[in-house]
Amino acid sequence: MEAFVKDYDKVIKKQRMLETNDPLDRLINIVNEAKDKIRADPSSVSASLTALGKTIKTVSSGISEEHKELQSALSKYSKAIDKRFTGDMIAAINPHAFDNKENILRNTIAMHFIRQGNFEIGDTFAKEAGLKLPESMRHKFMEMFEIVEALKVNSLEPALEWSTRHRRELEKRSSILEFKLHRQRYLQLLEASRKEDAIAYAKQNFGYFGTRHTQEIMRLMGCLLFFDRIKSSPYADLIAPNANADIQHMFTRDFCSLIGLSCESPLYISVTVGTQAMPTIIKMSSIMKAKKTEWSQQSELPVEINLTDDTKFHSIFACPVSKEQATDENPPMMMVCGHVICKESLVKLSRSVPNGRLKCPYCPTESMSSQAKNVYF
Amino acid sequence: MNKINHDQLLSLEHPFIKIPVEKFRSSLKTEQKHIEKEIAHLTNTVSEISKKSQHGIMDANQVQTALEAIVSRLSTLKRRLTETRAEESLYSQRTKVRLQHLQEFTAIPTLDSDEFGRWSRVRLNRILIDYMLREGFRETASYLAKSENMEDLVDIELFVQSAKIEQALNKYSCSECLQWCNENKSSLKKIKSTLEFSLREQEFIELARERRSQDAIAYAKKHLTPWQETHMKELSQVMALLAFPPDTKCQPYKRLYDKSRWRNIISQFRSNNFALQFFTPEPLLNVTLQAGLSALKTPMCYLPEHRNINCPVCDPHTLGLLATDLPLSHHFNSSIVCRISGQIMNEDNLPMALPNGYVYSYNALAQMASLNGGKITCPRTGAVFDIAQVKKVFIS
């Protein structure tokens, strides 16, 4: 990228030169000068005009030279772009995959803005595209963003109020949000040197969590010993610098999970994964085009696209022996030693041993194939 | 895994970086053409004045007036060029901003950094604005660009003219589009466009529809004959319309009279317009979304018991529905996701099997056990076990 920026800076320099030294101004000036000369000395008409003709010639050749330089710098730059940015995205699209699904896509876009807290943009879009957004979603996200805004300025009360109200549902999802919020409030009091208030707060609120979070509460109370120097005590980890961001994230995640939605905008995830997948898909589709097939018409991609850990949502088990993906008919089986292979591979391996005791392909353990059991990921 | 392959991702940004440069170039060309024409005119006029004054046809005063006229002509041109020049600096500035935007990207180290998240969100907005502009949602596009402070990263004004032309075509008027064809004659020739012929043909069809045979013939003589070398077949076919009334059942004339031809013209105009301005023929959103949905799609996404609310494809009403016609992802390597915590199981967070064969991550089971006095409840079967009963699983 550096090289492009430098090349382009050259273009800009040339453009500035033309801008500050306007060719038309230059022409106007020389004509005016000739005119002034003639006015001052009418007898010099013919000499002045000849001189003017000559100056026009030199000035204009200078002007077209400058223009040419600028244009050639620009076209050089433009060609360099074509060389460098080569992704032919069109090879990688099935123009009919979304046919008759415009409204699904548009609804997803509108919801994306609502989910980001961009309510006005979501509304403008819905209006322009003629969509009806469910009011209830909008209200829920408005509530969520109000609480998040409060969390941003370290005000935990709205979040606490919400999580106490939804205690049952949260616990069912083994959420620890409510406790984390109380813990944060307690630590806030300590940090503000309000020791007495902190103790009172702990007394009032930690009791409910006594059985589930015993260890954590012990530590929280233990840090009172180092009240004035927690940061240099064994309890320093309690005061994490990004505690606020963490709790915002935990709240958003739990809030969305409670209303049955993902924590991150699905549109954002899909497009971000898509841009990462594009280079591979472009390469693959150009190979497939050469073989006169279309990737988008296949039931399965012929190549593997690596996903980052945060975009892996389903367990994939590919048998290390056969390299095939597990299915209901060919499920993963765990041998006695704990290694997992697919059923078909297990059957094949046990066929080749006479006494039925097969050696695990990955460790020295021998076992009967009947001892292997189904595992569920 | 989380390292960014900058080169690969940058290679996708061709339209982003190319569009303003080409606009800049074409404005410059326009300006240069005007100036060259002006210089030629100037040279001629001065030599004429010079001749006239030598032959005594013009005196010093008249020469001065003539020179004044030249100056005022030049000044007029200068005023006329202000718009072109404003365009030049706009697109020049835009190119610079976009280069900077891509340069910022090259400085981002990993896919899981905050900077990458921020940059990707801007990119998503770019992609969404591109989609809105193509679909005619200009108000939202402008609003979003303005509120996110990214007007230089999108090409809103390039859609103003094309929207007008499309509107005209929607109202069955070809003249705006024909004018556009004329303005872009040489570029259209380069991409071997037949848009102009289609428009001429359509105007002829409309005359035939109104049964104005004489006008139609005159029109055809003037506007269709230039195409005889390349489009003779279409030409004779469309001429035959004069013999058929608009309500004919006879093919291909019925098809020629069909109003749906206008829709084809609109899409022909669109694809020509995009090609000329270096836009991709399909919205970037569709391209990236298809790739992304395919990469995420697994057979599990459509089985309710395997549904993961965080997975975009698992939503059967939105993206899952969009993904139905797309290929599934393919994997040669295992990656096991914990159904309790959503975390990936690996050496740092081992997969553990319960006695019933269900596998969860060590961290999730340990946390559950610590909150429940060493007991674990399998979330899928409801069975309760002791933490001591779980067994390490090895995935290679």
Per-residue model confidence as pLDDT tens digits over A95-107: 888 999 999 999 9
Q: How far apart are CA A170 and CA A257, in angstroms?
A: 9
The answer to whether residues A192 and A246 belong to one domain is: yes
Identify the CA nearest to A22 among candidates B292, B287, B38, B131.
B38
Instruction: Supply A239's token pair.
Output: 């005061």
- DSSP per residue, B121-149: HHHHHHHHHHHHHHHT-HHHHHHHHHHTT
Q: Is B380 helix (H, G, I), strand (E, B) or coil?
A: coil
- B10 has a chain A CB within 8 A of its CB: yes
Cβ-defined contact of B312 to A267 (cutoff 8 Å): yes
Let me know if residue A30 belongs to a domain: yes
Task: List chain A residues with CB under 8 Å of B34.
Answer: none
Q: Pick from A215, A233, A258: which residue ends a domain?
A: A258
> Looking at the partner chain, which of B288, B331, B395 has a beta carbon nearest the beta carbon of A304?
B331
Residue A82, φ and ψ in degrees, nearest 5: -60, -35
Q: Which amino acid is at B202?
A: Q
Helix (H/G/I), strand (E/B), else coil: A8: helix
Q: What is the pLDDT of residue A95?
A: 85
Domain ranges, residue A239: 134-258
Residues A252 and A156 in one domain: yes
Using the Cβ of B71 and the Cβ atoms of chain A, whether some distance falls under 8 Å is answered with: yes
Q: Looking at the complex, does the CB of residue B185 fall below 8 Å from at least one CB of chain A? A: no
The alpha carbon of residue A3 and the mean position of all alpha carbons in its chain are separated, in whole angstroms, by 27
Residues on chain A touching B48 (C-beta within 8 angstroms): none
The answer to whether the CB atoms of B12 and A323 lie below 8 A apart is no
Decide the pairing of beta strands B336-337 and A332-334. unpaired
User: Do the domain assignments include residue A84?
Assistant: no
CB contact under 8 A, B312 and A269: yes
Within 13 Å, how many C-alpha atoms sit on residue B386's CB side? 2
Cβ-contact B188, B182 below 8 angstroms: no
| DSSP structural state of residue B108 | -
Handedness of CA B91, B93, B99, B104 (dihedral sign): negative
B351 phi/psi in degrees, rounded to 5 = -75, 135
Contact call for residues B368 and A174 (beta carbons, < 8 A): yes
Neighboring chain B residues of A250 at a CB cutoff of 8 Å:
none
Q: Is B278 left (phi over 0), alpha (psi -120 to 50) or beta?
A: left
Which helix (H) or strand (E) segment holds residue A368: the answer is strand A366-368
Q: Which of A89, A103, A171, A212 to mutate to test the interface with B (most CBs of B within 10 A)?
A: A89
Residue B349 backbone dihedrals phi, psi, to 5 degrees: -150, 80
Tokens, residue A331: 């499920």
Do A248 and A321 have their domain in common? Answer: no
Tell me whether residue A374 is in a domain: yes
CA distance B324 to B294: 10
| CA–CA distance, B172 with A369 (Å, rounded to integer) | 75
Put simply, the answer to whether A128 touches B140 (Cβ < 8 Å) is: yes
**Contact at CB, A97 and B78, closer than 8 angstroms:** no
User: Reading across the β-sheet that carries B391-392, which strands appear in turn?
Assistant: B359-361, B351-353, B391-392
Residue B52, classified by CB atoms within 10 Å of its CB into exposed (0-12), middle (13-18) or buried (19+), is middle
Q: Does B176 touch chain A (CB under 8 A)?
A: no
DSSP for A37-104 reads HHHH-GGGHHHHHHHHHHHHHHHHHHHHHHHHHHHHHHHHHHHHHHHH----GGGG--TTTTTT-HHH
Chains A–B, number of C-beta pairs less than 8 Å apart:
397
Tallying the residues shown for chain A, one arrives at: 377
- pLDDT value for A212: 84
Q: Please give the residue of chain A at the shortest CA–CA distance from B29.
A: A71
| CATH number of the domain to which A321 belongs | 3.30.40.10
pLDDT one-digit tens code per residue, B138-163:
999 999 999 999 999 999 999 999 99
One domain for residues A154 and A56: no
Q: Residue A107 is which amino acid? A: N
Q: Give the three-class secondary structure for A348.
A: helix
A287 part of a folded domain: no
Q: Same structural domain for residues A226 and A191?
A: yes
pLDDT in tens, B196-253: 999 999 999 999 999 999 999 999 999 999 998 889 899 989 999 998 988 888 888 9
Residue A161, Cα to own-chain centre: how many angstroms? 31
Q: Which residues are A366's β-sheet partners?
A: A359
List the one residue out of B284, B10, B177, B356 whose CA is nearest residue A271. Answer: B284
Which of A24, A32, A215 is closest, CB to CB, to B77?
A24
Q: Which percentage of chain A shows pLDDT scores above 70?
A: 100
CA-based nearest residue to A181, from A210, A153, A151, A207: A151
Strand partners, A368: A357
Q: What confidence score (pLDDT) does residue B1 get?
A: 62
Q: Phi, psi at residue A368, to the nearest 5°?
A: -85, 145
Chain A positions in Cβ-Cβ contact with residue B42 (cut-off 8 Å): 27, 31, 56, 60
CATH says B336-392 is which class?
alpha beta
Are residues A228 and A167 part of one domain?
A: yes
Q: Is B49 on the interface with A (CB under 8 A)?
A: yes
Cα separation values, B390 from A34, A334, B355, B365, B368, Å: 100, 13, 7, 9, 13
Amino acid in position B212? R
Token pair for A60 = 């204009």
Query: Among the three residues A14, A47, A79, which one is the final residue of a domain in this structure?
Result: A79
Alpha carbon distance A110, A265 (integer Å)? 11
Q: How far is B379 from chain A (nearest CA, A)?
A: 10
Total tally of structural domains belonging to chain A: 4
Q: What is the ipTM of this complex?
A: 0.90
Q: Determine the residue type at B388.
A: A
User: Helix B195-209 to helix B175-183 angle, to the nearest 10 degrees?
Assistant: 160
Task: Please list the ranges in chain A whose pLDDT falls under 70.
Answer: none
A78, B22: Cβ pair inside 8 Å? yes
Residue B396: per-residue pLDDT: 77
Nearest CA of chain B to the CA of A139: how many Å?
A: 20
With CB atoms and an 8 Å threshold, state whether A98 touches B286. Answer: yes
- The Cα-based distances of A335 to A346, A371, B355, B388, B395 in angstroms read 9, 7, 13, 19, 11
Q: CA-nearest residue of chain A to B334?
A: A317
Q: Which of A74, A101, A375 sits opposite B25 (nearest CB)?
A: A74
Buried b (16+ CB within 10 A) or exposed e, A239-268: eeeebbeebbebbbbbbbbbeebbbbbbbb
Contact B235, B198 (CB under 8 A): no
Answer whether residue A93 is part of any domain. Answer: no
Q: Do B14 and A78 touch (CB under 8 A)?
A: no
According to the model, what pLDDT value does residue A241 have?
A: 80
For residue A150, the model assigns a pLDDT of 96
Query: Nearest Cα to B151, choosing from B233, B203, B93?
Result: B93
The residue ranges of chain B whose pLDDT is under 70 are 1
Nearest CA in chain B to A22: B78
